[in-house]
Amino acid sequence: MHLRLGGATARLRLRLALGPPRAERPPRSRPAPAAMSSSPRPADPAGVGVPEGHQLVTEGQVTMVYPRDENSVFYNPVQVQNRDLSVLMIGVHARMRAERRWSRAKRKELRRAMLQAQRDEVGEDELKNEGKEQRKARAARFERDLTDAVNEAREGVDFDGMTAESAGTDDGMTIFEALAASGLRSLRYWKEVPGVRAIVVNDLDPVAVEMCRENVVRNGLEGALAGQQRQDGGPPVPEAEDNDASDVMKRRNPKQRPPGLHLQVGDATHEMYVSRLPPNVPLDQMNATQRDHQRPQFDVVDIDPYGSAAPFMDA
C-alpha cells in the first residue's frame, strides 16, 4: 500500500489509524489458519498410484501428482487463492458472455419482427412521407420499445443453464494456458468453469506436458483429450474435420479448434501470434495469410510467468 502523508495532521491521522504503541496493545490470541482449497493428504481418486518421490495434491475438483524435487515442475501453494479467483472470474465472464450473445441474437430477432409490425400498422407510404423530426422521434420510440422487449424476454432466461450447455456447442469458450507446467489451472478450468468448449494446454518443456497428460488420466479426463500426442514431444495431431458439419459453419469459422483438451509442446508467443483470426470471418473475406497461417482468437488467455509478463503482451 502506498501511503503519502505530511504535517502534524497527517501524523495524528497515522497514529489514530495505527492505534496505541505496541507495548500498550492488549495481548491477543493467534487466529486459526484459514481453510485452503488444497488438501495436504488427498486420496488417489483414480487409483493410479503415486510414483516414488512424488506427492498428491488436491485443489478444487482436481487431484494432481507432483515431484517432491522443487527443481522440477512443482506445486505452489501460495497461489491457491489466485487460482481460485481465476476460476471464479472466468466463470463470471462465461455467464456474461452467454448473456451478451443471447441479447444480440434476441435484439436482432425482435427488431426484425417489430419493424415488420410497424410497416403493417402504419404503412410503407406514410413512413416514407414522414419528416425528419418525425422520423427521429419514431426511431427513438422504437429503440426504447425494443430495449423494453429485450429486457422483458430476459426475465425468463436461465443464463446459468445456457452457459453450461454452450460447452457442447460452437458457442462454447476456448481458453489458452500459455505456461501450463503441470496443467493444474487448465484441469480446474475444464472441471469447474461452465461453458468451456476447448482448452489449449501449452508448455515449452516436454516433461511438463507429459506430467500434465498423467494428471489428465489421474482425473479421469482422458476422454476429453483432443488429438493424438506425438511421441517426439511435438504438438498433437489435430482431429480430422467433421465431414458432417454444415457448410455454413465451415464458411463462418473454418479453422475452429475441435472441442476438448489440447496438450502441446510449443512457444506461447508463437501460438498467440497465429491465433488472431477474428470470430465469424467468412472464408471469402480472409486474405492468404489468414487462410494459411491464422487460427481463431481465444476467449481467455491465461499467462502465469515466473517473472514479468511483458514479453507476452505484444502477442
φ, ψ of residue 207 to 5 degrees: the values are -65, -40
Tell me whether strands 62-67 and 173-177 are parallel, antiparallel or unpaired.
unpaired
Give the span between the Cα atoms of 195 and 259, in whole angstroms: 11
Residue 227: the pLDDT is 66
Edge-to-edge strand list for the sheet holding 38-39? 38-39, 54-59, 62-67
- pLDDT of residue 170 exceeding 70: yes
User: What confidence category does residue 71 fall into, taking pLDDT thresholds of 50, 70 and 90?
Assistant: low
Largest CA-CA distance found in the chain, in angstroms, rounded = 88
**The three grid cell numbers given for residue 220, joined into one nine-digit string:** 479421469
Write the pLDDT tens digit of every residue in 265-284: 999 999 998 888 776 677 77
- pLDDT of residue 171 exceeding 60: yes
**The three grid cell numbers given for residue 9, joined into one nine-digit string:** 495532521
Write the pLDDT tens digit of every residue in 3-62: 343 444 434 333 444 444 434 334 434 334 333 344 444 555 555 677 777 888 999 999
- pLDDT of residue 304 exceeding 90: no
pTM of the predicted structure, to 2 decimals: 0.72
**Residue 104 burial class via C-beta count within 10 angstroms: exposed 0-12, middle 13-18, buried 19 and up:** exposed
- pLDDT of residue 293 exceeding 90: no
Write the pLDDT tens digit of every residue in 118-147: 888 888 888 788 888 988 998 899 999 999
Of 192, 313, 296, 213, nearest to 250 (Cα)? 296
